[in-house]
Structure 1
């Protein structure tokens, strides 16, 4: 395997890095100020002006929809080619949205590209690709252990030319955003099917459909996590046309697996960017901060943590690149173990490196908006898209299977 970046990718890396330096980093304070102003005015989930303005700049620069391997709709990059670009965007938590490369829209667009009908693509994929609307993914439920997706209890029942949907979802990414216009909802169409992986289906629900109610915006470590955030949503006697079903009845688990593979690796790519930036902050702090009469860089524990952070980041990056290579060459299903491995390794690495950065900054580390939000994001990803324990179990079973077949 060859992880050398092609001239095309190197050019995109250069353009993306220049864009971040010219437009993203200088606007971090403005972004925080706009979110704070919206929060003070009573609605922290309003879109920020700075992100909406920068979207136009990014699109004009040709840095738009880079995540989609489908050349008809996106940049036509493989997972391996997209990885270093996603890492650059991931250095600022809100930056991916500027390039129309943020969750949950990326995963939802991939679902519509792979599984959507022509009409579904016209209605929802096209405005998502244009950045005119946003979307939400509704899978996790508060009343069951949703780490096992076969546990979901929400129902999708056919009634003539319509499906009737009932259920409650939470941790629904993007559900609080006023630009959110459509949900991809997972529920059971055939709860009695003996094959537990054929009971579920996925369906498109327009946000303004009667019976859809956002109950609350979920806090993350006590904070509102706006303006992205996650919602708890009720679906009560929601009716949509049968044409809103994705792919067919009983295909929901199949769609979920197809969606979560790229989604998981994108999260890991972005986490490497967050960790790299935290390490950079650590190094600068070490060179200029004096404690007990000498620079932090002269303290043994500081050097040890910087070295260990460098090792952990590079290890995680190589694991991510290997998973991306496998996805490109043998497909997501065969690369299941590699995807699960990075989903465990990358968040754990990022949590550790960012925690060391916070410790290095002392009290200032707890007050720093980047470090605080970066740590929260990294810690949340030990649960999102499957908790560590589920992925470790999966890896262990796959490893044991090699010996059973022998």
Structure 2
């Protein structure tokens, strides 16, 4: 339920009160004022927009909408639990205007972007993962992302341009800060955490889909119906944007264009997918359209154009990702190589795999995609020496990995473990 206060001219209060009753308004109160009348009423969220549209002919009406849940109790008393349990989605006008109101100042956005960039840089440089989480809390990416999606759903081209500009200003500030920090300390090489962030999974599209869905649903849900706080949703959106922002700035400094390519791919993918999914949520669940009450000047082509551009961009990025391996799929190929190695080792008699790890390097070798394969074995066959086992295993595994169409060049570090106790026969 939402509380509305409407100030109108003398004699118009009764007319609006009648309209409010037609919209199932509760706990209505009409008060006389020196310069008119004040009507206070409570409406279900889904009735707010239609009610405001019904009183649009009263052009001088001064309307106050309190964007917080109100508990209204009315006869019969025994139905109070059912009355307060009626939790519905926000009205389209509240979704749209509330989103616009949360834009904030550019100065504050730039300060938070710089602070987030510093935290990302320290986290990536020192390998401190919890600082990346802190950067996700600080980075102001969720607001511009959701406002851009709102603008697309409502057909507001000017607002869409402004939101995208703020989006890229925030991202650009983070990139600039991380670049300058790496430049001042004369960073020459990528850190292990930077390399890890640059390894993109084949399922990387799922994160921005979830972020867009969660962000959209959070904004259209009433506060008592939202099971996840807005800050958590903001972290989810920033989780897909903050690390690649830092990765680009740091990698540009020392000229590792493979890392830059990964960061640019991630940023563009997050932007397009979040925009696409959130705009669809606002349009079809939140009912934010070009014909919304009090913001009915939107253009239908803006929504269609936004969907078309986002869809084409996502399709192009996915084609780029899957056009060649392992480039933008290293996160998944790592796992697949390790799985193939373990499967192949299980076929070999007298050898038991203890632990298998596979990871791509920074790509510093020309014409090669080196992947380091660390293999820990336990040898049950005493007929072969440790060196013979290593040679046999590396030859078999090399041939098996190269047989796959991964365009990967495995380099093996094989350790044969010794058990000083008495081993039981398998």
How high is the TM-score relative to the length of structure 2? 0.28
Q: State the structure with more CA Rg.
A: 2
How high is the TM-score relative to the length of structure 1? 0.29
